[in-house]
Structure 1
C-alpha cells in the first residue's frame, strides 16, 4: 500500500460505565499507528456494537472488537494495532 492511503475506520458503540456510546478512546493507538505508517484515517460511526472495521478502497481489510484494543496510548505495544497496520499495508 502506498503512503498517504485513505483508511476508513468504522467503529460502533460499546458499553462502558453503564452507558452505550460511540467512543474514540480505544481508537487512539490504532489511529496513531496508521498515521505513523503514512496513512490518513477517516472516522465513521456505525450501529454495530463493539465492532471496528478498517476499509481501504471500500473493502474491509481488518475487523476486531473495539474492547480488545488498548485504551489510549500510541499503539506501539498493542498487537491488534500491528495486525491492523499490516492488513492495511497488504491491501494491494
Structure 2
C-alpha cells in the first residue's frame, strides 16, 4: 500500500449544453499517478473547471496532464525532503542533549567498555 496519496477535485464539464461531472477527462492523469505509486481519489465538486483536459486520453498526449503529473511529483519530492530534514533536525537535537556535560549521567552497575573488543574463541 502506498503512503503517497492524491485527491483530485474536479468540477462539471460543460459540453453539449449540459454540465455534468466527467471523470473520463481525468483517466490519463489518474492512470499515470497510479503507475507512479500514488493512491488517487477523484472527488466531484462544483467549483473546478476541467475543460482544458482532453477527453479519455493518455497522459503522454495531453500537455495539461503532463504539467499536472510534474507538479505532483515536484511537490511529493519537496514534502519528502522536508520530512527527512525535520527528522534529521530532531535527531540532532536529541543527540545534543545526550552528549553534553549538562546531560544526565548513566550509572551502570558494572564497568562499561565501549571499545567492543571481541576475543576470538577457537
TM-score of the two chains, using structure 2 as the length reference: 0.56
Hey, what does 1:18 align to over in structure 2? 17
Q: Where does residue 89 of structure 1 map in the other structure?
A: 73
Structure (1 or 2) with the larger CA radius of gyration: 2
Q: CA deviation at 1:75?
A: 1.2
State how far apart, in whole Å, the 1-side matches of 2:54 and 2:19 are. 18
> Runs of 4+ in structure 1 displaced over 4 angstroms?
none
Higher helix share: 2
Provide the rounded CA distance (Å) in 2 between the counterparts of 1:70 and 1:4. 29
Contact 2:9 2:43 (C-alpha < 8 Å) held by counterparts: yes
2: CA distance, partners of 1:40 / 1:76: 20
Question: 1 or 2 for the larger relative contact order (CA 8 Å, sep ≥6)?
Answer: 1
How many equivalent pairs are there? Answer: 75
Q: Which runs of 5+ in 1 are unaligned?
A: 51-65
Q: Which runs of 5+ in 2 are unaligned?
A: 80-122
The alignment yields a C-alpha RMSD, in angstroms, of 1.5
TM-score, length-scaled by structure 1: 0.72
More strand by percentage: 1
SS in 1 for 2:51: helix
Distance in 2 separating the partners of 1:49 and 1:85: 18
